[in-house]
Amino acid sequence: MTALDRTARHGGYWPSAWPVECGGNRRQKARGGRLDAASGTASVTTRRNGRWNVMVVERDPGEWFAGGTMAAFTGPPPFGWVERMDPESLEPLASSPELLCGEHVWCGAILAHANGSIMSVNGSYLHRLDPDDLTVLAERVLPVDRSHNGLLALGDGTLITKDLRLEDQGGTTITRLDPDTLELVGEPLVLPEGSMGRIAADIVEEAGAEHVYVPGTEHVWRLIVDGDELVVDEWRPRYRDAGGEHGLAWDSCLAADACWLMDCGDVPSVRHIHRTEPNGRFDQPPSLSWRQPAPWAGAQRLARVSLTDDDDVRFVEPFGAPGGGIIAPPAIVPELSMALAWDSINGGLAGVDITGDRLDVAWQLDVRPSMQPVVFPDSGEFVINDFTDAGEDDLVVVDVRTGELIDRISTGSRIGNGMFLTAGGDRDVFYCTTTALARVRYD
């Protein structure tokens, strides 16, 4: 299986190994190749820019773009930004102007589109940027004045994004746009539920269809791409009960004929940010630490939802500790029949055997992850952060099969959050967090 197969990229993206968050629309976070961390020596380059660094994507080989926003919870208005950066020094080779975001403070997304442009969604704005000098080629105010979470290209090249809404905040709006003009394609679709997690998508060749998956506040929703329209499918599995003992789901991952997700995600800091207008703007900001106690009693859960039977929803609680919570989605490695899940609030990383219909905890590791990981199925290496008791945000390389801690790397950061790791393709990984970004490379 190639890296392209793993992540389900297609003609909507620039022909790159990592043109979009999580490497592709299935969100499997996988790339071919290997780190060989056990036999290598890691070197770390860190750049402190004082910005909220969200993600790094690749266009041409060796052509890297970083995107993010400003952690301006108070004071001067925030803005989005994109940089084309030197992969060795991480210094900018070109920088976008300050990109309007409707004054919302939240982590948006960037991607490298098939038309050559870099696309950026941030707050309530979408921008199309020239890849060379990052000047603005087109700008679009999105139909809903809220933070938007995630941006994908569909098989026909159209862009799709959604606003972020918590429980009792009304239905989430799904917006589809032309990648050249940024004009709307069809009418925006409003779901009956809010949605916090980012969307996933997949082209089902045997069915001649493309599906979009949206984690709602109680159900997972599947949309069918039908020409210019998005049609709500009858497949509608329930993963939680409103007002129950578990929180909302973040993003899903499509793998092994299932949709995988972790619940317990709307931790107090997320609730604070999205229950104020503009999102994330305060006269006096409250505590925005994700380490605060969870507002529910339930343990952290990993859910497996069958893509063919919406009554087939199975859960495992890898740790069992009450008041679990996360700010990122799981990773699934179908080649090794393993799922990786964690509890950011209580701590703990677990490997779950998913052979056949099993959901058996195979191993546990005493680390505290919080971010979007990467995995190298060829070598069975999994990379994620560990926010230590000393307040250091390290990266750890873990053996997917056994849970062995292969290596620990200090990033020099003291801020851990739920941002994205990117597999660089040269025995390296890019790391994004608030105020800093880093590259770890093995020799």
State pLDDT tens for residues 310-336.
999 999 999 999 999 999 999 999 999
Per-residue pLDDT averaged across 340-365, rounded?
97
How many folded domains does the chain comprise?
1
Q: Residue 356: is its pLDDT beyond 80?
A: yes
Mean model confidence pLDDT for the chain: 96
> The CATH number of the domain where 284 resides is what?
2.130.10.10
Cα–Cα dist 368/388, whole Å = 7
Tens digits of residue pLDDT in 383-436: 999 999 999 999 999 999 999 999 999 999 999 999 999 999 999 999 999 999
Report pLDDT digits (tens) over 89-110: 999 999 999 999 999 999 999 9
CB 182 within 8 A of CB 139: yes
Q: How far apart are CA 204 and CA 281, in angstroms?
A: 41
Is 65 in contact with 92 (CB distance < 8 Å)?
no
Instruction: Give the rounded percent of residues in the chain with a pLDDT score beyond 70.
Output: 98
| Alpha-carbon distance values, 197 to 108, 201, 372 (Å) | 12, 13, 12
Q: Which tens digits make up the pLDDT trace of 132-170?
A: 999 999 999 999 999 999 999 999 999 999 999 999 999
The parent domain of residue 34 ranges over: 3-442
Radius of gyration of the chain (CA): 20
pLDDT tens, residue by residue, 192-208: 999 999 999 999 877 78
Q: How far is CA 106 from CA 167, 280, 296, 324, in A?
A: 18, 7, 24, 23
Please state the separation of Cα 16 from the chain's center in Å. 18
Contacts of 40 (CB under 8 A, 6+ apart): 427, 442, 443
Q: What is the reported pLDDT for 6?
A: 65
> What pLDDT score does 163 carry?
98
Alpha carbons 437 and 430: distance in angstroms, whole number: 7
Q: Which of 6-15, 180-189, 203-212, 285-294 is predicted with the least confidence, judged by mean pLDDT?
A: 6-15
pLDDT at residue 205 in the model: 79
Identify the band that residue 358 occupies on the pLDDT scale cut at 50, 70 and 90.
very high
Residue 343 confidence (pLDDT) above 90: yes
**Nearest Cα to 293, choosing from 248, 346, 368, 329?**
346
Distance, in Å, from the CA atom of 234 to the CA atom of 227, rounded to the nearest integer, reads 18
Higher pLDDT, residue 4 or 365? 365
Asked if pLDDT for residue 4 goes beyond 90, the answer is no
CA-based max dimension of the chain: 54
What is the 3-state secondary structure of the chain?
CCHHHHHCCCCCECCCCCCEHHHCCCCCCECCCCCCHHHCCEEEEEEEEEEEEEEEEECCCCCEEEEEECCCCCCCCCCEEEEEECCCCCCEEEECCCECCCCCCCCCEEEEECCCCEEEEECCEEEEECCCCCCEEEEEECCCCCCEEEEEECCCCCEEEEECCCCCCCCCEEEEECCCCCCECCCCEECCCCECCCCEEEEEHHHCEEEEEEEECCEEEEEEEECCEEEECCCCCECCCCCCCCCCCCCCEEECCEEEEECCCCCHHHHHHHCCCCCCCCCCCCCCCCCCCCCCCCCCCEEEEECCCCCCEEEECCCCCCCCCCCCCCEEEHHHCEEEEECCCCCCEEEEECCCCCCEEEEEECCCCCCECEEECCCCEEEEEEECCCCCEEEEEEECCCCCEEEEEEEEECCCCCCEEEECCCCEEEEEEEEEEEEEEEC
What is the identity of the amino acid at 393?
D
- Residue 208 has what pLDDT? 83
Token output for 193 = 């539920």
Is 90 exceeded by the pLDDT of residue 5?
Answer: no
**What's the first-to-final CA gap in the chain, in angstroms?**
26
- With b meaning 16 or more CB within 10 Å and e meaning fewer, what string describes 421-436? bbbbbebbbbbbbbeb
